[in-house]
């Protein structure tokens, strides 16, 4: 495959970029050094237009060649507030901050694609290189959209890729339809009447109401959601009281809800409200419920998922391309897919014993897959132009 060979010729440079970014991780909306490195390299590659500060700390590069469609290629840049435990030479130099999700690798792959495409111009139309801040819970994709990303840099479709530990290195997985879930949060506060634990009849015990809620809310999934609809509702917090002989005034619960269909999420929120109001009334107290909707579901459009799959097949062959099963993780690339067609794929990071999971303090991106990700981005640019690799 010519493109893979061409990109592999500067594999060492991609590794160097990745290790530099890994040593200097930056959290959401603080990716100033990272953005500066990205912008400097893009200008050095001869990218036609480089704009910094999009959506806060985002960087956009634009490549043009002839007439044709415009394609967006996205990589995320932010790190996580995790203290790295890895012992490699490029480990993080910043306490309690590390690239534990591989965004350093994603950035290096898109930089590699930018270098190749800027040199060869093997595409027709426009390639918009989107280096996004703040994917980890801070909605950097939405911030870029709110800053006019697709008005300032129009695209007909948009693509992203994420490394995936546990998936064999050198394989891609992609499918149409929902591939990652929405990630909502909720907080519940029961307001009762506290008192002495030896005289519970004189109180309105919010702990009892909270315990009833933990059990009853499971029926939202088991009895109020169709079996063929995916929904996860997890209570992850329960806080009440501080002394062994005092019934508290309040009990606080919190958790997360995940789903692929927004209508399922809306129905679940309504059912939660009804159940919690009923429990509060049954225990003669009041309840506050706060729903905080997070990233929406990530839904690949069928045509673009087919293009992404074919690009991966052209790159590596049928045997290396899998059908992606949906994850209950979430991803703010979903905001891009709400306004433009596109597809999000997964690139195997490795499945051996030494391959730590995402968001693990011992995680590290697999440098061997850097050329594959960069070549995949290049193949997408060619495919969007109607070209086939090698044609």
Strands 182-191, 286-292: pairing kind: antiparallel
Topology, domain 182-292: Alpha-Beta Plaits (3.30.70)
Q: Which DSSP helix (H) or strand (E) runs through 108?
A: helix 103-120
Q: What is the mean pLDDT of residues 261-286?
A: 97
Q: pLDDT tens, 204-258?
A: 999 999 999 999 999 999 999 999 999 999 999 999 999 999 999 999 999 999 9
pTM: 0.93
Q: pLDDT tens, 218-228?
A: 999 999 999 99
Percent of all residues in the chain with a pLDDT value above 70, rounded to a whole number: 98
DSSP structure string for 79-106:
-BS------STT--SSTT-B--SSHHHH
Instruction: Locate the domains of the chain by residue range.
Output: 2-180+298-384, 182-292
218 DSSP assignment: T
Question: Can you give the length of the chain in residues?
Answer: 391
Q: What is the mean pLDDT of residues 118-122?
A: 96
Q: pLDDT tens, 51-71?
A: 999 999 999 999 999 999 999
Terminal Cα distance for the chain, rounded: 11
- Please answer whether residues 77 and 31 qualify as being in contact, where contact means their C-beta atoms are separated by less than 8 angstroms: yes
φ, ψ for residue 309, nearest 5 deg: -60, -45
Q: Where residue 387 falls among pLDDT bands split at 50, 70, 90?
A: low
Q: Where residue 391 falls among pLDDT bands split at 50, 70, 90?
A: very low
Q: pLDDT tens, 80-119?
A: 999 999 999 999 999 999 999 999 999 999 999 999 999 9
Read off the tokens for 307: 């293009």
Q: Which CATH number fits domain 2-180+298-384: 3.40.50.150, 3.40.50.2000, 1.10.630.10, 3.40.630.10?
A: 3.40.630.10
pLDDT at 354: 66
pLDDT at 386: 74
pLDDT at 367: 97
pLDDT at 384: 82
DSSP structure string for 111-167:
HHHHHHHHHH--SSEEEEEEEE--TTTS-HHHHHHHTTHHHHS--SEEEEEEEEETS
Q: Where residue 390 falls among pLDDT bands split at 50, 70, 90?
A: very low
Beta bridge partners of 157: 71
Task: Please give the Cα distance from 391 to 388 (Å, whole number).
Answer: 5
SS3 state of residue 201: helix
């Amino acid at each position: 495959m010519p493109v893979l060979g061409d990109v592999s010729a500067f594999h060492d440079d991609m590794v160097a970029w990745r290790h530099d970014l890994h040593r200097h991780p930056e959290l959401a909306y603080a990716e100033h050094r990272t953005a500066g490195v990205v912008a400097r390299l893009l200008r050095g590659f001869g990218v036609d237009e480089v704009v910094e500060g999009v959506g806060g700390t985002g960087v956009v590069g634009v490549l043009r060649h002839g007439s044709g469609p415009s394609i967006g290629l996205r990589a995320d840049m932010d790190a996580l507030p995790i203290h790295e435990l890895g012992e490699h030479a490029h480990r993080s130099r910043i306490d309690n901050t590390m690239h534990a999700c591989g965004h350093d690798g994603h950035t290096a792959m898109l930089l590699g694609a930018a270098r190749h495409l800027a040199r060869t111009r093997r595409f027709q139309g426009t390639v918009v290189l989107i280096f996004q801040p703040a994917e980890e819970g801070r909605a950097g994709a939405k911030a870029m959209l709110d800053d006019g990303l697709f008005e300032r840099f129009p695209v007909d479709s948009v693509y992203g890729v994420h490394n995936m530990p546990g998936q064999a290195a050198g394989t891609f997985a992609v499918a149409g339809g929902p591939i990652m879930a929405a990630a909502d949060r909720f907080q519940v506060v029961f307001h009762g009447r506290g008192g002495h634990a030896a005289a519970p009849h004189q109180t309105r015990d919010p702990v009892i109401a909270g315990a009833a809620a933990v059990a009853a809310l499971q029926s939202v999934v088991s009895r109020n959601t169709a079996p063929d609809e995916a929904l996860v509702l997890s209570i992850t917090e329960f806080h009440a009281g501080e002394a062994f002989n005092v019934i508290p005034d309040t009990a606080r619960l919190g958790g997360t809800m995940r789903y692929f269909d927004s209508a399922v999420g809306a129905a679940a929120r309504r059912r939660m409200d009804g159940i919690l109001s009923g429990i509060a009334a049954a225990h003669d107290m009041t309840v506050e419920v706060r729903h905080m909707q997070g990233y929406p579901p990530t839904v690949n459009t069928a045509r673009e998922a087919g293009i992404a799959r074919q690009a991966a097949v052209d790159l590596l062959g049928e045997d290396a391309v899998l059908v992606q099963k949906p994850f209950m993780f979430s991803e703010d690339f979903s905001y891009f897919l709400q306004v433009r067609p596109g597809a999000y794929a997964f690139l195997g990071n490795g499945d051996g014993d030494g391959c730590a999971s995402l968001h693990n303090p011992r995680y590290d991106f697999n440098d061997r897959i850097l050329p594959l990700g960069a070549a995949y981005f290049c193949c997408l640019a060619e495919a969007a132009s109607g070209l086939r690799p090698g044609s």
